[in-house]
Structure 1
Amino acid sequence: MAHSCDAILFDLDGVLVDSEAVVRRQWKRWAEDRGIPFEEVEAVQTGRPAVEVIEEVAPHLDPETEIERLGDERATDGLEAFDGAKALLNRLPRDRWAIATSGRHRTATARMAHVGLPEPEVFVTADDVERGKPAPEPYQQAATGLGIDPGRCVVLEDAPAGVASARRAGATVLGVATSQPPDALAAATAVIPHVKALDVRAGDAGLRVDWQHEEGA
Structure 2
Amino acid sequence: MSIAVKGLLFDMDGTLVDSRSCIELLWRNWASRHNLNFAEIQAVMHGRRGIETIQIVAPHLDAQTEVELLLAEEALMLEGIVAIEGAQELLSSLDPNQWAVVTSAPRDLALAKLAFAGLPLPTHIVGADDVKDGKPHPAPFQMGAAKLGLTADQCLAFEDASAGIQSAHSAGAQVCLVSAAGGKDTTGLAQWQINHFAQVQIEQNNGTLNVKIK
Normalised TM-score (structure 1): 0.93
Moved over 2 A (4+): 68-71, 178-186
Q: CA deviation at 1:93?
A: 0.9
Q: Which range is displaced more, 175-184 or 189-198?
A: 175-184
What residue identity is the alignment partner of 1:8? L
What SS class does the counterpart of residue 61 from structure 1 fall into?
coil
1:46 alignment counterpart: 46
Q: CA deviation at 1:206?
A: 1.0
What residue identity is the alignment partner of 1:43? A
What SS class does the counterpart of residue 190 from structure 2 fall into?
coil
2:206 alignment counterpart: 204
1:1-217 to structure 2, matched below 5 A, reads 1-70=1-70, 71-74=72-75, 75-180=77-182, 184=186, 186-212=188-214
Q: 1:126 to 1:211 in 2, by over 3 A?
A: same
Tell me how far apart the structure 2 counterparts of residues 82 and 185 of structure 1 sit (CA, whole Å): 23
What SS class does the counterpart of residue 168 from structure 2 fall into?
helix
Q: CA deviation at 1:68?
A: 3.4
Q: Which runs of 5+ in 1 are unaligned?
A: 213-217
Number of residue pairs the alignment of both structures matches: 212
Q: CA deviation at 1:155?
A: 0.3
Cα shift readout 1:107-148 (whole Å, capped 9, x = no counterpart): 101101111111111100000000000000000001001101
Tell me how far apart the structure 2 counterparts of residues 204 and 104 of structure 1 sit (CA, whole Å): 34
Q: Which runs of 5+ in 2 are unaligned?
A: none
Cα shift readout 1:14-60 (whole Å, capped 9, x = no counterpart): 11111011101100000001000000100000010000000000000
Q: Which range is displaced more, 187-196 or 98-107?
A: 187-196
Could you tell me whether the CA contact under 8 Å between 1:126 and 1:132 is conserved in 2? Answer: yes
Could you tell me whether the CA contact under 8 Å between 1:15 and 1:195 is conserved in 2? Answer: no
Could you tell me whether the CA contact under 8 Å between 1:150 and 1:171 is conserved in 2? Answer: yes
